[in-house]
Chain A
């Protein structure tokens, strides 16, 4: 299948769509990492096996689609029957025969496999009617769950590479950049720098060689949108990069993929090979004077490589240490050449903007942050997963409408956005419309879109300590404020968690944070104290409880809590083997005894007790 001109894309598309008409119903099995972990692979096998055993009317292997992630990983494996959109969750292999018999052959709905809204218990039949999906506006995630993840023809069948063809054959590079500038698209990786301006600077920079780089090193713990997109819609990433390359005049692209994402690498690799084979990558693409190829560079486990200059050094096979960027990487980037670097989510928006126009895109979101943003809504929220909403949606809508509120109806305490560079926002900011600037104003950050919801059982001091610990581990160690400053901040906060905090520690930490913020070399350091500062700002009394009263109100910090067995204990003996330290003794049907001297406060007993018989204080 060779694509040498725009017509070929159209022809391929029509031919494929016609071939698919044979199947009145299709089975979409989510094969994102989450669903695979829950056994989606076996579900696909079960469907194929069923076909081996007998002939099923209007159904064949071609109608089973291994799709990308729907974002609702917690409910996986997910199976959707199209075109009706019947939505089955937590499907098991034993359900497959039933699905084939009832839903595929007879077009019936299997009540027991439907998703029940956690709050109302109401069973919802169609995918689009579930609260989790209903409130979303999916642009970047447009194809996730709709097409076979690694198939170029499926991508083309939903309009893929149409925008690229339009850009290359009908637009001048400057027109493309004008369009991106007009759309107001800002970098989805964290900083929110206008993508169009970056492209223009790169285009104007005089150099023979230019590069287009895609940052797929999603390092923020708690964020996984780039992973899902790379796994589930790799061609959209390539298309975005190809348009960027044509616009800035680059002939080589790189995608830097995290080491922890093997499936993303496999799918991207296949997508690149398919494009090379069909002629969408290579020399004289679509018959034009445009050549472009893309290589995958795999990361090797270093958070700091999400920083642009470190990432570029890592691509070159060097140590991923950032350098000072008084000369920007768009002028002097990879191999000292002008380089456009955007992240995965940014690139997948590009084909949409070219296809539908900048004014359409500008109409979504807020004035200064146009378009949508994907968030990974995780933590103590009922519906966890990957969601996409228009910029300006409030935190409340995201957490309570889409996320359906807090697990076990506990009170909402805080939401952490922006990963280790961001901050924790308390309930008073729940009505904040989320965009790049509002989050920064209140001391947090958009970051790559991690959104971690916390309830009253989450200790904010512990959260800050967690992030500082993470950053100490991940600091490259090049500059002193970050290497030594974050280390000392972590020491100080650890002492507080251990009940050894002293008056004045908060002020000392705030003071040291200022130097780390101002004097560090790269973004890791200059934003590193944010989780600490935001928690001190909004949850100061919790810190003071740790320091003054030596208490952890949330019952998390081990040195400040005590586990005790109360009289609700039924003597079920479940906690005895759970305790790895022989601290609990007891007999059947008698209240167990916890030896405080042996207790390490690991919380295992608390986690296994079904009778609320263990108190934390």
Chain B
């Protein structure tokens, strides 16, 4: 399947053509498409004159990058220490049950992806769940369903 990567030249133009820009470019691509289409990897490698193997290695090394399409809504469950101590596991479990998928997966209708993040630095409000960009603190079991309904 061919992916539309029409915005790529624009993204590439925003950055100097050096290896130093690679991670920032990949982040911008992911922001635009919600994931990194493989055509974009190839094009980026060519544009920056970096071997494709290196670009592939980098895009798989860093957690932030996804090479497969993700859901419209990305539910990030923080599992930092503070959140863990305050029951993040249970919240994760509840979200998984509610959406019928496991962390790291996307619902078949492409609506939701659950991701587990190591710490989002909002430890005082543990446990924390992020619905797209919106932070929800002190999440309780009873609040999970409501939280999932929130659209961005």
Contacts and interface: CB of A to CB of B under 8 A. Distances in A.
Contacts of A569: none
A71 B121 CA distance: 12
A259 B58 CA distance: 15
Interface string B78-92: 011111111100100
A221 B119 contact: yes
Interface centre among B61, B90, B123 (most CB of A within 10 A): B123
Nearest to B50: A317
Contacts of B120: 260
A314 B26 CA distance: 13
Contacts of A71: 124
A607 B90 contact: yes
Interface string A288-311: 000000000111111100000000
A580 B94 contact: yes
A374 to B, nearest CB: 13
A202 interface: no
Contact of A259 (B27, B134, B140): B27
Contacts of A608: 140-142
B21 interface: yes
Interface in B74-121: 79-87, 90, 93-94, 97-98, 117-121
A379 B82 contact: yes
Contact of A33 (B22, B83, B117, B121): B121
Interface residues of B, number: 51
A73 B64 contact: no
Interface in A378-408: 378-380, 384-386
Nearest to A71: B124
A600 B85 CA distance: 19
Contacts of B79: 221
Contact of B141 (A223, A261, A607): A607
Given A219-B118, A300-B63, A319-B57, A36 B135 contact: yes
Contacts, number: 176
Interface in B51-83: 54, 57-58, 61-65, 79-83
Nearest to A476: B61
Nearest to B25: A317
Contacts of B128: 37
B68 to A, nearest CB: 16
A428 interface: no
A300 B123 contact: no
Given A302-B61, A316-B19, A317-B58, A224 B123 contact: yes
B85 A603 contact: no
Contacts of A380: 85-86
B20 interface: yes
Contacts of A553: none
A381 to B, nearest CB: 10
A222 B85 CA distance: 10
Given A259-B64, A602-B94, A379 B121 contact: no
The 8 A-B residue pairs with the shortest CB-CB distance in the complex, in nearest-first order: A301-B63, A37-B135, A580-B97, A221-B80, A300-B62, A224-B121, A221-B119, A73-B124
Interface of B: 18-24, 26-27, 54, 57-58, 61-65, 79-87, 90, 93-94, 97-98, 117-126, 128, 133-138, 140-142
Given A261-B121, A316-B19, 14 more contacts: A34-B137, A38-B137, A219-B119, A260-B121, A297-B24, A299-B62, A300-B27, A301-B118, A317-B19, A378-B85, A470-B118, A607-B141, A608-B140, A608-B141
